[in-house]
Each structure stands twice: as structure tokens, then as C-alpha cells.
Amino acid sequence: MLDIKLIRENSDLVKENIKKKIQDEKLPLVDEVIELDKQIRELKVTGDNLRQERNKASDNIGILFKEKKVEEANNLKEKVLEINKELVEIENKEKELEEVFKTKMMIIPNIIDESVPIGKDDTENVELEKFGDPFVPNYEIPYHADIINNFSGLDKEAAGRTSGEGFYFLKGDIARLHSALLTYARDFMINKGFTYFLPPFMIRSEVVTGVMSFKEMEAMMYKIEGEDLYLIGTSEHSMMGRFIGQIIKEEELPLTLTSYSPCFRKEGGSHGLEERGLYRVHQFEKQEMVVLCKMEEGMHWYNKMWEYTVEFFRSLDIPVRTLECCSGDLADLKVKSCDVEAWSPRQKKYFEVGSCSILGDAQTRRLKIRYKDDEGTKYLCSLNNTVLATPRGLIAFLENNYNEDGSVNIPEVLRPYMGGLEVIKPK
């Protein structure tokens, strides 16, 4: 959520930013929130003046009664009652306008960084850099579900009986590999100096609306019926909610956190092969990194974070590239974002395995997360990035470490988590 002062003083900048986001339908919101803000401030002034008048009258009532001026005192009492009635109307109107104001403010997108390429959607994202050589062996790489099935490692039919479409059972060596990747991702980030967390997997609505846009919320989140609780779509949600309403000590900054969680999303399966595979599922697991820092340090941490993800995948012998998200592909709270994509030797193209974002004070302003220095209280900058989301990370691993005989190599960094195995072989 933007600072209303910025909108008041730089409305043209905010409108131009909306155009860059290809969201022209939101342009009227700028003038609407400016007018609402004006009305709310006028109501506050009127209310403050009435309260002063009421307090003065109340003081005089006692004096008049002491002076035996009963009629004048009773007239003032009537006036106080009228003022109280008027104040109730003003306060109700103010509350009503503030609700409308807040809703409209939360729809206006964050100001994107000047370096973000302008484009309508993800088809206009820009490749930044490749890491590792994309390699296609001289033998066929099967579809990932077939690789897993050769290990007797996948049971979507049984998951359909227990849970429906978009769920899965993993078993045997594949399940172990899945867990090994996540445990390695955890230790990888701990070794980078990040503090490890296991967060709550459900959060309240005030946290949900603090960390994402209404559009994202509707598309992603599962609500617990009859309770003010939602299943998290990523542990970033819980980790940001942890600091709601808090003032962080300056000497504790930056906060560098890494968290594990299952993730739940309303994401249906695609057509064809994806329906029997693991590309789009309702439940997956993820190791996340979250940073809270001073605003001026945000871009420094943004670059460090995506570099960590690249380093992680390269340690697993997986070629990757970074892709700059264009303006039309940025979620409304984001200032800048890049995707990390892994090479698929089967498809002969890259696919997304992680995303790194800087959000400025969009989340911290909504959640009132601040720090205090010599100049006063300031909002923090928030960032988040995927270390590993699996099964997508598992798919990338299997394809890039697959051998012609159907076995899968275990890179050296992962062997301690796989009981020392250098290779796993199909059943």
C-alpha cells in the first residue's frame, strides 16, 4: 500500500506507474483516494473542533451550576447532547469513508523500479543471464512422471481416492530424494547465515491482506470454513505476519530468515501430460528465504537472494537462467522481481523453479512493521525468494541427473542426505 502523501503530491507519477502496469482501469482510483482523503481529513478537523467545544461547554456547566445559573447550565447540557449526537454521525461517516479509502488504496499497485522492463504479461519477460550449459543427451529423457514411476515412486491414483485431483503420494527412493532436497536447501541457507524457522501453516485474514493483493488472495488461498484462518500459500505469509505491529530494534537489522512449510494453492492441473505429472498441484513443499532490512539496503539483498538460488541449483548440476519480470507480470505489491528457471533437457527449454521479489514497504506498511533510528520510526523493506519448491525442483533434478539406463545420479552435496548413495536405480 502506497503512502497517501506520495499520491497527494505525485499523482501523475502514480498514474504513470499504473499505465506501466497495463492496468488503466485503475487510473480513476488515484483521484478517488485523494478526494476520500480530503473528506476524511475535513471530518477529523470538524470532529476535533466539536470535541473542543463540547469539553469547554462541559467545564462551564459545572461552573454555572455552582453559580446557581440552572437554566443556562441546562441549555449547555442540551448543547453537549447535540454535539455528542453530531459527533456520532461524524465518527460513523469517518469510519465508513476510511473503509472505502483503505480498500481502494490496497488496489493501487506499488511503484515499480525504473529498471523493470515494460510489457503486458509474462511473454515479455526478459532473459538476464544463464548459469551452466543447457545440455541435451543423445538419449531420450522420459517425462518426469514416467521416471518416477520407474522407481515405483508415484501414486496419483490413490491420492485421487483420498484427496482428489492435484494431489499425490511419493514413496521409496523418490520420497527420500524429495526430503533430501528440502533438507539440503534448509542447511544451504543456514550456512549462508539465515535463521531457520518452522512457521504456522494457517494465518488470519489480517495477515493475508497484509502480504498480498485481493486478486492474489482470491486466486490462491484456501479458507478454513467457519474460522478466520487461511492455509498458507508460502511460508513468507507466516513469516511476515510474525512481525505484525512490531517495531524492530535497529541493531537487529537486517533480519535474514529461512523457513520451511507445506504450501496450499487453488491451482488446478493443466491439460495433457501435466494432469498425470507434478507440475501443477494443490499441495507442495518449499524452503523460502525472507529478509527485512532498511529501504536503502533492499536492492543489495535482492541481488544476494536470487544469487543464492542460482548457486543452490548449480550445486545440484542443474543449469539455470534468470528472467526479469516485466511490468505487466509483476504482482501489485512488488517493486521488482526475477524468476529463476531450470533447464529441462526433455522439453529443451527452461521452466520456473523459483521467484525473487523486493516489495519495498508495501507489506510492512499494511502490517505496520517498522524500525526506529535517530530520525524516527520508519517502515522496513521486505523481500522474499524461493530456495527450493518441490516437486518442481524434484522434476528439474530428475531430468538433469537422469542416465540412459534409467538410474539417477546423486551429486556430491546431496549424498549425505541420501545415506551416501551416489546413484539410485529403478525398481
**Residues forming beta bridges with residue 356, ordered by sequence position:** 338, 385
How many of the other CB atoms lie within 10 Å of CB of 323? 21
Domain ranges of the chain: 4-105, 122-424
The percentage of the chain sitting over the pLDDT mark of 70, rounded to a whole number, equals: 98
Distances (CA, A) of 153 to 162, 186, 354, 403, 408: 17, 23, 24, 17, 13
**Phi/psi of residue 168, each to 5°?**
-160, 155
Q: Hunting for cell 482523503 — which residue is that?
A: 37
Fold of 122-424: BirA Bifunctional Protein; domain 2 (3.30.930)
Which range (2-11, 37-46, 147-156, 212-221) has the least confidence?
212-221
- Taking all residues of the chain, what is their mean pLDDT, rounded to a whole number? 93
Residue 261, judged by CB atoms within 10 A of its CB (0-12, 13-18, 19+), counts as buried
Q: What is the pLDDT of residues 163-177, one digit of tens each?
A: 988 899 999 999 999
Fold of 4-105: Helix Hairpins (1.10.287)
Which range (29-38, 186-195, 213-222) has the least confidence?
213-222
Buried b (16+ CB within 10 A) or exposed e, 128-142: eeebbebeeeeeebe
Question: Residue 272 has what pLDDT?
Answer: 42
Beta strands at 195-197 and 255-264: parallel, antiparallel or unpaired: parallel
Cα 154 to the center of its chain, rounded Å? 30
Identical fold between 4-105 and 122-424: no
With cut-offs at 50, 70 and 90, classify the pLDDT of residue 60: confident
Examine the pLDDT at 424 and tell me if it is beyond 80.
yes
Distances (CA, A) of 322 to 289, 325, 339, 348, 399: 17, 10, 6, 16, 19
Considering only CA atoms, which of 191, 190, 287 is closest in space to residue 239? Answer: 287
User: Hey, what's the cell of 266?
Assistant: 487453488
The amino acid at residue 141 is: I
Question: Residue 337 has what pLDDT?
Answer: 98
Examine the pLDDT at 59 and tell me if it is beyond 80.
no
Mean pLDDT score, 138-160:
94
Mean pLDDT score, 52-61:
81
Examine the pLDDT at 270 and tell me if it is beyond 50.
no
Asked if residues 124 and 16 have their Cβ atoms less than 8 Å apart, the reply is: no
Mean pLDDT score, 120-140:
96
Residue 285, judged by CB atoms within 10 A of its CB (0-12, 13-18, 19+), counts as buried
Hey, is 217 helix, strand or coil? helix
User: Hey, what's the cell of 172?
Assistant: 521409496
With cut-offs at 50, 70 and 90, classify the pLDDT of residue 334: very high
